[in-house]
Amino acid sequence: MISMVAVSCSMLVPSRETFLWKNPSWRGFSEAHWLRDGRNRRENFLAQATAFSEGESVSLKNVIEQVEKMRASAIKEELTSLGISYADCFEKQELVLRLANARVKKVVQADKKNSTQGSQYPVLAQMPLYKLRSSPTSPKNYILVPMKINNQGPFNFILDTGSSVTLVNPSIVYNNLKLTPQPSKMTMALLGGGLSNQSNMSVNFQEVKIGNHPLSNISALLMDPQMLQGWEASAAGLLGLNVLSQFDVEFDFSKDTLVFYPPGAASRGEYNMQGMEKLATSEVTLGILGVKIALGQAPPELALLDLGSSLCVATPDIARVAGVSETILQGQGPALAGGGMGQPGAMKFVSGLIDVGIVSAGNDKKAGFTIKQAQFAIGEVPALRAVGCRILLGLNVFKDARLLFSQSTKSVFLERRKV
């Protein structure tokens, strides 16, 4: 979704959470032990888990409850992607614990690896990077960042470089944080399907923690009823540029890690720039960055950078210039599910594979290197037209790469892939 208040989450549905579980007393807790004693055992277990995981990025209680919200088919799909058998699981609760244990093991191993490696560069926060492929025809991925707010939570926010502000689910504000929103000047939004009335209420968080790094006085806009239609309950909101501007953020898709550095770290030489190339960037609207690319056979133009979108998006006219066949453009190729959270109205898209030429900052007239055959959702997106773009770059184009996003310096760096 692209918004005049916020550009956010183009075509996605979140269902994976990041978490930390470091207390060793819980690692050996067997699935059978929990299941055998029923509901009372479960409630007691969750209460103790909350106490033992106090101060961590995400409590064990939060992890279990979030996994329980997933469909059994989604749990099985994630277990399969992790290479973990569930043939001996006959109840959903067994699947829940199997997946929770698998996630915990992965995070603990990553923590051990990171603690032994060390770093000569200042790191404010570091966490695993989770994405979820929801279906073959609608590959929707999110990056979730756990945040503690006013010493409560953590709450999972969707990281979104296409959102100028942070958005929060009103239920979190009223029911969990017990805060009273105040009037805001931001009242209109341009969603993927067109104009809508956005909430005119905002809230101020006195303290926010990402990992163990504290931020103060973070403002967030309450999501409006239209945006809440179809919203995933496991996501507390969108983490926008007003927070991301306080970091240089590294997305390492090859190692599945998300690292937060001090703002401007790359420009000061406080970041490992080996193999990285600075891209040609320019502001699209309201601080949201665009990256200059050459799409297929088309000349270079600005594409909106939206890491809150799982797929790249192109309008039919630029896709045609890029070399996509009329057969595909006329809808005779693979179809993709359109819309997403905050966009209850379905939009029609077809799938196309297009080469993406990356234009470097030192030479913005032609592509310096090319990412071959990236998947694009091709269709009309009113919000893209409204901000003067025909292309949106999503997460999938950066698969297996290392990307550094620096909102404070309006810079983007990408590791050139070996081909």
What whole-number distance in Å separates Cα of residue 403 and Cα of residue 386?
27
What's the pLDDT score for residue 137?
A: 45
Mean pLDDT of 300-304: 95
Predicted local confidence at residue 221, as pLDDT:
92
Half-sphere exposure of 101 (CA within 13 A, CB side): 17
> Does residue 408 have a pLDDT over 50?
yes
For residue 10, what pLDDT is reported? 37
Whose structure tokens read 């939206």? 306
Q: What is the pLDDT of residue 384?
A: 87
Predicted local confidence at residue 109, as pLDDT: 60
Interatomic CA distance for residues 210 and 212, integer angstroms: 6
What is the set of domains in the chain, with CATH numbers?
24-117 (no CATH), 273-415 (2.40.70.10)
In degrees and rounded to multiples of 5, residue 247 shows phi and psi of -145, 160
CB burial readout 245-265, b (16+ within 10 A) else e = bbbbbbbbbeeebbbbbbbeb
pLDDT at 59 over 80: no
Q: Sorting pLDDT into bands at 50, 70 and 90, what band is 357?
A: very high
User: In the Cβ-directed half-sphere of 76, how many Cα atoms lie within 13 Å?
Assistant: 11
Q: Is the separation of the CB atoms in 216 and 207 below 8 Å?
A: yes
Contact, 236 vs 176, CB < 8 A?
Answer: no
Query: Quick check: 296 and 355 in contact, CB under 8 A?
Result: yes
Residue with tokens 């999938």: 396
pLDDT of residue 303: 96
DSSP, collapsed to helix, strand or coil, labels residue 260 as strand
pLDDT (mean) for 392-401: 89
pTM of the model: 0.72
* Cβ count near 176 (within 10 Å): 15
Q: What mean pLDDT is predicted for residues 188-195?
A: 47
Weakest-pLDDT range from 192-196, 263-267, 284-288, 390-394: 192-196
Pairwise pLDDT comparison (126 vs 18), residue with the higher score: 126
CB atoms within 10 A of CB 329: 17
Which region among 137-146, 198-207, 372-381 has the lowest average model confidence (pLDDT)?
137-146
* pLDDT at residue number 102: 79
